[in-house]
Structure 1
Amino acid sequence: MNKLTQGVVLLLFGGAILRASVTDLYLRYVKEGLRPFLIATGVLLVAAALMTIWYSFRETPSDSGEHGHEHEHHGPGVGWLLILPVLGLLLVAPPALGSYAANQAGSVVAEPVGGSDYPPLPAGDPVELSLVDYASRALFDAGKSLDGRELSLTGFITTAPDGAPMLARMVLSCCAADGRPIKIGLDGRTPIDVPADTWVQLTGVYTARTIKDPVNNVDVAYFEVRTWQEIPEPKQPYA
């Protein structure tokens, strides 16, 4: 590749990153808090690309004449493959990790908060909780802060080893490549005949039942469902 071509490819890379960052597309790849870093990276790449293109046009014939033949032959054509991930980012919106990824990995271990007591839930029912928060309170606080409250959980449907529906959501440490599921078993009026990957919002109450995840043998909390409804996939699919 000559300098002009390198600059164009770099410009496409930076533009693709900026496009993903200023829309919700970046949420398919990384955590929400990384957006400022992506924007800064995209701006730097675009700036470097524009400088490269500018220098390629400023280059005089005498600068390149001595090595003209070398420039004509350029580098290996495989360099053009760099354009493929750019096109993929520009043209294809990948689906969020779902039930297949959840079934292949063990549930994350919900960590207890500092101290022995969990803070009380906000007033008003139902209280909307993340799956991680619910699992942590159910497993490490014996449900004391959950008992007697109507709760609301949101996630996608996946399948337990026995074929029963479970609720799950992928948890990211940094990006989708390190995503792991948090899984919640379901009792009561569970969603029936709902395809895997369907997003649902459940209301119900705490139940003390737990099972072991057969993938990594960690405890999985249960939730007693009273009502449920299908919902669109949220803008931020990851926890």
Structure 2
Amino acid sequence: MNRIAQGVVLVLLGAAALSSTVFTDLYLNYVQPGFRYFLVAAGAVLIALGAAVVAGEVRAYLGGGAGGKDTSPEPGPGCDGDHGHGAPRVAWLLLLPVVAVFVVAPPALGAYTAGSAETAAPPRAEGSESRLDPLAEPGASGPVEMEIQEFINRAWTDEERAMEGRTIRLTGFAVPNTEGEGWYLARLQMACCAADAIVNRVLVTNRPAPAEDSWWRVEGTWQPPQGELQSVRNHRFDIETMDAVENPPDPYE
């Protein structure tokens, strides 16, 4: 791989970063929305560096062709030998991320991750229920819409059990329960990127399991446990209505 090829690789990597942030929402499969501007800046820098490398090599080549003497050293082992600026052929593997983004971009994490990963652990801080916002008055505005992480947090920490008997609306994807009855409605929550994602899920036993990874907006009720709230790892949710929805642009909470 000569210097021009290296510059082209930098340009392509920068273009991949820009195409997944400026022109599409693909980056949301991997990182939080707040990282968009950092990715845009990184892509612009890569394109500028790659273009500078290519331009410099082209100028050097044209200058040498006009009568300048080529004083480039002999290439070493494992180099391709173009103008002495060779690099190990393994450097071509740098193109794989570009191919992955442009050709076979990995999808967001889904049912496989949610089914095999540990669920989010109950919060340990005492008094966390005091930080919960009060729910809307019953019947004031229809079902109470929540993210699954909020539902789980209330189910674990609200000793007043304010959700009991209330109609709750949740949106998530279907995950088979391979270790017991029913299936899960799940959503992944990440602090930084997909690598640190944790699973928030509720257990559904009163409806047949839909297709794995299909997205649903459901309305139903929480089934509170008989004992301690935080002794339950998978809180039950009885569905009253469920409607299929399109995959959201940002699949994480």
TM-score range, shorter chain: 0.7 to 0.9
Provide the residue aligned with 1:154 in structure 2.
171
1:206 maps onto 2:218 in alignment: no
Provide the residue aligned with 1:106 in structure 2.
118
> CA offsets per residue over residues 5-25 of structure 1, 9 Å max, x none?
111000000000100112111
**Compared CA separation, residues 231 and 92, structure 1 to 2 (3 A):** same
Specify the SS of the correspondent of 1:56: helix
Provide the residue aligned with 1:236 in structure 2.
250
Alpha carbons 2:170, 2:217 under 8 Å: kept: yes
**TM superposition shift of 1:181:** 1.3
For 2:113 and 2:31, locate their aligned partners in 1 and report how far apart those are by CA, in whole Å: 16
1:167 maps onto 2:185 in alignment: yes
Percentage of matched positions with identical amino acids: 34
1:12 maps onto 2:28 in alignment: no
For 1:63 and 1:134, locate their aligned partners in 2 and report how far apart those are by CA, in whole Å: 72
Provide the residue aligned with 2:52 in structure 1.
51
Alignment of 1:179-218 (within 5 A): 179-188=197-206, 190=207, 192-209=208-225
Specify the SS of the correspondent of 2:242: strand
Task: Provide structure 1 residue ranges, at least 5 long, that are not aligned to the other structure.
Answer: 212-216
**TM superposition shift of 1:97:** 1.3
**Compared CA separation, residues 235 and 83, structure 1 to 2 (3 A):** same
**TM superposition shift of 1:95:** 2.2
Alpha carbons 2:174, 2:212 under 8 Å: kept: yes
**TM superposition shift of 1:147:** 3.2
Alignment of 1:105-124 (within 5 A): 105-111=117-123, 114=128, 116-122=130-136, 124=141
For 1:135 and 1:223, locate their aligned partners in 2 and report how far apart those are by CA, in whole Å: 11
Alpha carbons 1:29, 1:175 under 8 Å: kept: yes
**Compared CA separation, residues 194 and 115, structure 1 to 2 (3 A):** closer
Specify the SS of the correspondent of 1:183: strand
Provide the residue aligned with 1:133 in structure 2.
150
**Compared CA separation, residues 63 and 238, structure 1 to 2 (3 A):** farther
Alpha carbons 1:110, 1:132 under 8 Å: kept: no
Specify the SS of the correspondent of 1:173: coil
**Compared CA separation, residues 63 and 42, structure 1 to 2 (3 A):** farther
> CA offsets per residue over residues 19-47 of structure 1, 9 Å max, x none?
01121111111122211111111111111
**TM superposition shift of 1:148:** 4.1
State the Cα RMSD in Å. Answer: 2.5
Provide the residue aligned with 1:66 in structure 2.
71
Task: Provide structure 2 residue ranges, at least 5 long, that are not aligned to the other structure.
Answer: 76-80
Specify the SS of the correspondent of 2:112: helix
Letter in 2 for 1:18: L
Letter in 1 for 2:115: N
Specify the SS of the correspondent of 1:38: helix
**TM superposition shift of 1:68:** 5.4
**TM superposition shift of 1:184:** 0.8
**Compared CA separation, residues 206 and 115, structure 1 to 2 (3 A):** closer
Provide the residue aligned with 1:79 in structure 2.
91
Q: Post-superposition, which runs of at least 4 consecutive aligned residues in structure 1 deviate over 6 A? A: none
Provide the residue aligned with 1:214 in structure 2.
none
Alpha carbons 2:129, 2:157 under 8 Å: kept: no
Report the more deviating stretch, 14-23 or 119-128.
119-128
For 2:243 and 2:170, locate their aligned partners in 1 and report how far apart those are by CA, in whole Å: 11
Report the more deviating stretch, 165-174 or 138-147.
138-147
**TM superposition shift of 1:180:** 2.3
**TM superposition shift of 1:114:** 4.6
**Compared CA separation, residues 238 and 117, structure 1 to 2 (3 A):** closer
Aligned length: 232
Instruction: Work out which of the residue numbers 195, 202, 222 in structure 2 matches 1:177.
Output: 195
